Structure formats: C-alpha cells, structure tokens
Structure 1
C-alpha cells in the first residue's frame, strides 16, 4: 500500500562514511523527514554498516532500512572480491579497481522503489565529483540521467509527482564537506571512510578513501578522529 503523500519526506542513502553522514545532516537541516537506506552488498567489511547505524542514531531518522544484496556474486571490484587487493599507491587518473560495477545505479533504483512506496519524492545521495576516485557513477551526468529515467519509469512520475535526486556535495571539495558537517554537529568519529577497515573499525590509512579524508582534515588543521592502523601518506 502506498503511503499518503508528504512533500517533506526524503530517502537518504547512508553508507557509514563521511560524505553520506554529511548528506543526511544537510537533508535534516533542510526540514526533511528522513528515511535512511543502507546496503549490505557483499562489501569487503561490514564495519561501515555499524557506522551507518550510529550515524542515524546520532542525527535521528524516521526509519533506517538495511537491504542485503550479493554484489560479491559478480565481483569485478576490490570492494567485493577478496582476491583483488585494494590499491594503496595513491590516486591515479584511471578508474580504480575499487569501482563497483553499477553500484550506484542499483542503490538508486532500490532507493527509488522505497521512495515511491513512501510517497517521498526527494532522494539524497552523497556523491562527489571533485575530491573523489574517478567513479563514473558519481558524476552530475549520471545523476541527471537517472533522475530523468526515474520520472519515466515510475507510476508517481507519470502521474505528476516527479522525483528529485539531491547531491549537495557533488561540487564540493573534501574540506568544504567536512566544514559543512561540523557546522551541522556531526560527530565524524562515528564514520568510517576506509575501503578495508578491520573488524574493530581501524582504517588502513593508505587507500584512496583514507587519503582523501585525511588530507581534508589536514588542510583544515583539524584532527581527524579516524583510528588509523598506519599513518596516511
């Protein structure tokens, strides 16, 4: 059964990382009633899911749904295939092996389905096209194309209730993202950005995600609350 319409509802993708936590805080600051969605998709570690739950507990959401997928069944990424090592030599100009095939397309499709059930016509995603690893599904072109598809493919869309995909971080540097989150009161010690954090939540300090995060805090002159196994390079 489709829930009654409420223009203030929004579905927010929450991974447990710094960017998605900031996106959730921004959505809340804009007055949305937030419904958080996280995925156990066969990723290299599950610590980020614990972080996602801590973040939504701190910031407050109406509901936090976890969906289990098995993207590790198709592999093709260092994040879903334990036989592929996570790169630790630094960010390159090529799409890295940590890219998960079609991940954001799949995540947004499921978020869209839940949003339609909730009559929530706003979706928030913490993708970034500035300080990032070069993933094609983090670009504005992808978001615009998916939004167009969403409004062609859903009952809500064709009946005059268009969906809007909000990407408030897409043109921000990591320093700007951190500053925005701190202004909104985020406890970044709850977040996990690392691609290969261990079971106790310690980050590797040398993967692309760790490097980008650590550099953002370093430039700002703010202590990074992440617990690192090794010093970021």
Structure 2
C-alpha cells in the first residue's frame, strides 16, 4: 500500500494561503494546516483560517502562538504605527514584520518532523507583493537548505521541500487558479485593518492588490467591505 504524503500548509486565512491549501489538496497531499497568531492587529484572518481549513479539507488545523508584537517594529503588530493607505515610496513598507516568515516556517518545520511530513507549503509571492525580503525565491531556497541541514529528518535522508507555488504568479493568476480549484475567496481575509467581522477597509495596499487581482482576472470581487461612516 502507498501511504498518502503529508504536507504542512501555512494558512493565514488570506487569499494566497487558501490557494496554497487548494493546490496541496489537488496534488494529493494530506494537508495539515498551520495558522500562527503572532500578535497581528488583523486577527480576523485567524477566524477566516478556520473556515478555509474546513472548507478545503485539511486533515487537521492547528493554531500556534508567538507574540512578535512584543518587539514592535511593524504596522501589523504595533497599533501606534499607522497602516499606510497610499502607494508607498518603493522601499520595504512598515507592514513588513521582522522575521515573520522565518518564525512561521520554523514552526511548520517542527510539526513536519513530528508528522513525518517532508513537504511544507507557503503562499509567498514575488510578483504582486509589498516588497518583503522574505517573499523572494532566494529566501525560500535558503530556508530549504537550512531545513535539510538542521533537522534529524534531513540529516537521515528524508529531504524537506519548501513549496512556494505562487511565488512567480500575478495576483490575477493566483485568483484564476484558486477559482478553478474551488476556492471560495469570499471566506478569506486579506485586509491589514479588517474589522472584527472580517470586512475589508478597501484602502490599504493588501486591499488594493486584491481588488486589482480580481479585476485583472475578470472575476467578481466577493470581498465584504466596511460601510463608510456618514
């Protein structure tokens, strides 16, 4: 009998990670979804991750907790730093969370070893993204090399693979792919300042990229938006 391959899928509750979970399912993996509460202000995404994990058939869904907010340094974790609502200056924006992807991938790596999984999926993107250094192909390659040097599984020949299937896709291509794979994007939360009901602000960079992606894909945007105050 051939044993089903297991994979850890980092699941924020947003559009990209939901697409990653659908891709892993389509590839035949038994998926174990991992969400991380890292002190993010937009905690509604964690509620969304539960819905997405269930809808896309994750074998198990776990929530890990690590308070990166205690260090500050990011608009996503520090309420005293405003979420930018303009196009930015082309540099690394204040929404970058120091070491976030490294921390989350490391937690995923630990769970993968325990489960005997050799595959980890992460929804980083280097095309329509905010310029974060830990979303680049070079970073993913470096983390995979480290994973195979630093784990018992890797040393004993059970090679770990970090999958970043969205890394070279535009937002429109991601949305089109996920739609074909049955993702209901209406249940995902992308907004950096979503309210407690998961409704998007429609003004932050995450919202702008998401809206432009649906427009470019020629699909209706199912995102629930906050009603402006009168």
TM-score (norm 2): 0.96
Q: 1:119 maps to which residue?
A: 116
- How far does the alpha carbon of each residue in 1:21-43 deviate from its partner, in whole angstroms, 9 at most, with x for none? 00000000000000000011110
1:95 to 92, 97, 101: 92
**Superposed, which structure 2 residues align to 1:172-183 within 5 Å?**
172-183=169-180
CA distance in 2: counterparts of 1:92 and 1:38, whole angstroms: 31
Q: Give unmatched runs, 5+ long, in structure 1.
A: none
* Equivalent residues of 1:77, 1:97 under 8 A apart: yes
Q: 1:81 maps to which residue?
A: 78
Q: 2:185 maps to which residue?
A: 188
Secondary structure, counterpart of 2:34 in structure 1: strand
**Does 2:58 match 1:55?**
no
Kindly tell me: are residues 164 and 6 of structure 1, through their superposed partners in 2, closer, same or farther at Cα, counting changes over 3 Å? farther
Q: 1:109 maps to which residue?
A: 106
CA distance in 2: counterparts of 1:18 and 1:230, whole angstroms: 21
**Superposed, which structure 2 residues align to 1:1-233 within 5 Å?**
8-229=5-226
* Equivalent residues of 2:173, 2:217 under 8 A apart: no
TM-score (norm 1): 0.95
* Equivalent residues of 2:4, 2:30 under 8 A apart: no
Q: CA deviation at 1:7?
A: 6.2
Kindly tell me: are residues 136 and 6 of structure 1, through their superposed partners in 2, closer, same or farther at Cα, counting changes over 3 Å? farther
The number of residue pairs the alignment matches comes to: 227
Secondary structure, counterpart of 1:23 in structure 2: helix
CA distance in 1: counterparts of 2:158 and 2:110, whole angstroms: 14
Q: CA deviation at 1:230?
A: 6.4
CA distance in 1: counterparts of 2:180 and 2:209, whole angstroms: 20
Q: Give unmatched runs, 5+ long, in structure 2.
A: none
RMSD of aligned Cα (Å): 1.4
* Equivalent residues of 1:41, 1:68 under 8 A apart: yes
CA distance in 1: counterparts of 2:56 and 2:8, whole angstroms: 14
CA distance in 2: counterparts of 1:218 and 1:92, whole angstroms: 24
CA distance in 2: counterparts of 1:168 and 1:91, whole angstroms: 27
Secondary structure, counterpart of 1:15 in structure 2: coil
